[in-house]
Chains A and B, each alone.
Chain A
Amino acid sequence: MSALAAGPGLVEWLLLAAVLFSIGLYGVLTRKNLVAILLSVELMANAVNLNLIAFSHFQGNLEGQVFALFSIALTVAEVGVGLAIVILVYRQKGGIDADELRELRG
């Protein structure tokens, strides 16, 4: 991978972001509680931002940081609306179990 010289390179940071993304995906697929699913989505978004900023650092470019800041703002908006929907589901059903949301199933 990298010579043990100046520190971790781009590849190491990208692999760390890939690990976090995969763990987040596992959480999204496995959890039943809606808020827990949103937490795992947060994890995946965080990994994406880490990826962007690592690229920005190692290419000497600011565009990656701009993109990451946009991504952070969009994630905040998505979580706000997502949690509003979770609260609506809770009002309808008394709980937020993803297995109980079956009305649209074929």
Chain B
Amino acid sequence: MQAWLLFVVVGSVLVGSAVAVVATRDLVRAVLWLALGLITTAVAYMALSADFIAAAQVLLYTGGIVTLMLFAVMLTRRLDGAKVAVAAGLGGTRGPIAGIALFGLLAVAILEGSPARGERLMVADSAGLGVAFLTRHVLAFELLSVLLLAAMIGAIALARKDTQTPLPRTTRPPLPQDDA
């Protein structure tokens, strides 16, 4: 019974914070609503016996991505202080129709193709996760570290202020006697 209660509470907080993220006019509030949603997702992961992933979620998503987003929001304020505009593009009816249509499609796929209720429920196994990373998925693990390094270097190279001195000239500047 408490599994259902947990699911309903977690589900409503998740859906409510998701709606607040996409609907609020204030961008800082939207980031904070997302942070609430991400922490609630960590609670859901613990209910689904994924303890390590829940901890990683709080550290990486809520601690890392939300901080990055707040930096970006603060660094990209409009200079005239105008409020962030929300509904544009597919506002009106086309946006909600797209969302509802996608949900309908996914719901049909889930309900049609759902497997029988498997009774092999898991127990949280962080050690097994570590073993899986270092034995079965070690190649992807190493490639992931290379990718993270590349992303870090790329982000720094992109967003760095351009303060380089110009390169030394390799040809002489044009002199007046050249126009003869």
A84 contacts B114, CB within 8 Å?
no
- Residues on B with C-beta less than 8 A from A29 are 89-90, 94-95, 98-99
Q: Is A94 interfacial (CB 8 A cutoff)?
A: yes
Contact A40 B65 (CB under 8 A): no
B132-155 with Cβ < 8 A to chain A: 132-133, 136-137, 140, 144, 147-148, 151-152, 154-155
B155 touches A73 (CB 8 A): no
Residues from 49 to 64 in A contacting B, C-beta threshold 8 Å: 49-50, 53-54, 56-63
B85/A13 in contact, CB under 8 A: no
Chain B residues with CB below 8 A from A87, complex form: 72, 75-76, 158-159
Residues 48-62 of chain B: 1 if any A CB is under 8 Å from the residue's CB, otherwise 0? Answer: 111011001100110
Q: How far is the CA of A4 from the CA of B22 in the complex (A)?
A: 33
| Complex contact B118–A53 (CB within 8 A) | no
B175: CB under 8 A from chain A? no
A26-B22, A65-B50 known; A74 vs B86 contact (CB < 8 Å): no
Report whether A18 and B107 are in contact in the complex, using a CB–CB cutoff of 8 Å: yes
Quick check: is B111 within 8 A (CB to CB) of the other chain? yes
- Contacting B85 at CB < 8 Å: which of A33, A50, A59, A84? A33
Distance between B46 CB and nearest chain A CB, rounded to angstroms = 10
Question: Which residues of chain B (9-36) have a CB below 8 Å from chain A?
Answer: 11, 14-15, 18-19, 21-22, 27, 30-31, 34
A7 to B84, CA, bound (A): 42
Question: Is there an interface contact between A35 and B44, defined as CB atoms closer than 8 Å?
Answer: no
Which residues on A are within 8 Å of B, measured CB to CB? 1-2, 4, 6-16, 18-27, 29-36, 38-40, 42-43, 46, 49-50, 53-54, 56-63, 65-66, 68-70, 72-81, 83-88, 90, 94-99
Please list 17 pairs of residues, one from A and one from B, whose beta carbons are closer than 8 Å in the complex, sorted by A's number. Answer: A8-B7, A16-B11, A30-B89, A30-B90, A33-B27, A33-B84, A35-B27, A39-B21, A39-B30, A57-B121, A61-B122, A70-B140, A78-B151, A80-B68, A83-B69, A84-B159, A90-B76
- 9 tightest Cβ-Cβ pairs between the two chains A and B: A7-B3, A60-B120, A27-B22, A77-B151, A26-B99, A18-B106, A22-B103, A84-B158, A84-B159
